Structure 1
């Protein structure tokens, strides 16, 4: 994970001091990385449109031009192949779960120590999902559904996008066209999805996703 070297990261936060702090941390963590900034979700969308090859977006939860996770949803829909790591000063298990279900690459508490943040960044850049230890009891749910959610949470943001298309009955060629990626890439994502969900067919994957209302 320590060898993950992003070329460009976008920091989205309406507080200049927070952006400066994250910029300093990122500059030390990822040498030679181009760090972009945006003070709002709309500005972030504009920046991403101009720099579509961003490797990661750090998005603050509380933005003036977004409500709760609407900023995450907006960026994921417009730029589905760019991982978005949520950042927040306050969180709970339900919020973390909601963010992951909406396609976040992880949830980063601002209260974390520097080493913890660095480790989380490396995990996300390595294609993993970072989930903080909330220290709270899980909300009541059947053991089977909880297991399904855990498996879905293990998917990368890109794999969740592909699963979303599978749930809506899209074929591999259609998904490749919609996401502007190769058919080989889509097939690789589908194979990884089946493996992580512990199923043997697209139909089984869709059934599991529908069990927990994944969309």
Structure 2
């Protein structure tokens, strides 16, 4: 066990962050705990702490779509294990998280003892899953392909793509990131190229494949709107 481990807790609910912090404080020796309430603060936290020992990640981080934050972290910070901590307990969601590189999946309904065991297991370099589950692949080919494409985006391009999926316009994104619209347009060109899409709508649908409950695939969207796919 690493002494004084650095752990990033990424969850938008303050009460749950406090509960996790209390558990970690009681189970570990003087852990360094860093809290993030949205994807932007999560990015800042990992950039400032690239040698963190563990990230505890909620699937519903404001500013990121479902598994996209997990894809970003495993692509850009592969040295930091990521454990998903979520209220979703469906087996297919747990298996999809593992497909996208998670080191474990902890249901929020878990007891304190189970939570402690899970955290210690992952901190020791092992995989932890709820009892009765095995690590098997269930993510579809298109979802995995989109995840791989997203992993090739730079951190800034990833933020831009996430904002596009939320419906923000270029000028709004430029304002949020304190850059020019021309810079955003340049990022959009690269995002379209890497995702293999031709429009903002297609980019948003592609990102939507990593939602916890996707509404449609990119292939389905292209069939419905062939005029946007040429």
What TM-score results when the alignment is normalised by the length of structure 1?
0.60
Give SS of 1:25's match: helix
Matches within 5 A, 1:1-215: 3-133=1-131, 149=136
> In the TM superposition, what is the alpha-carbon distance from 1:119 to its structure 2 partner?
0.4
- Cα root mean square deviation, aligned: 2.1
Determine helix, strand or coil for the equivalent of 1:36.
Answer: strand
Whole-angstrom distance in 2 between the partners of 1:5 and 1:122 = 12
Residue 6 of structure 1 contacts residue 125 of structure 1 at CA under 8 Å; is this kept in 2?
A: no
Q: Distance in 1 between matches of 2:77 and 2:69?
A: 12
Contact 1:93 1:134 in 2 (8 A): no
Contact 1:38–1:44, Cα closer than 8 Å, also in 2: yes
Kept in 2, the 8 Å contact 1:58–1:85? The answer is: yes
The aligned residue for residue 203 of structure 1 is none
State the alpha-carbon separation in 2 of the partners of residues 21 and 69 from structure 1: 23
Alpha-carbon distance in 1 for matches of 2:24, 2:53: 13
In 2, are the aligned partners of 1:6 and 1:33 still within 8 Å (CA)?
yes
Equivalent residues, number: 138
Secondary structure of residue in 2 paired with 1:108 = strand
- Name stretches of at least 5 consecutive residues in structure 1 with no aligned partner: 139-145, 151-163, 165-215
Is the partner of 2:70 in helix, strand or coil?
A: helix
Structure label with greater radius of gyration? 2
Structure 2 gaps, min length 5: 138-147, 149-230
* Partners of 1:32 and 1:46 in 2: CA distance: 23
* TM norm structure 2: 0.56
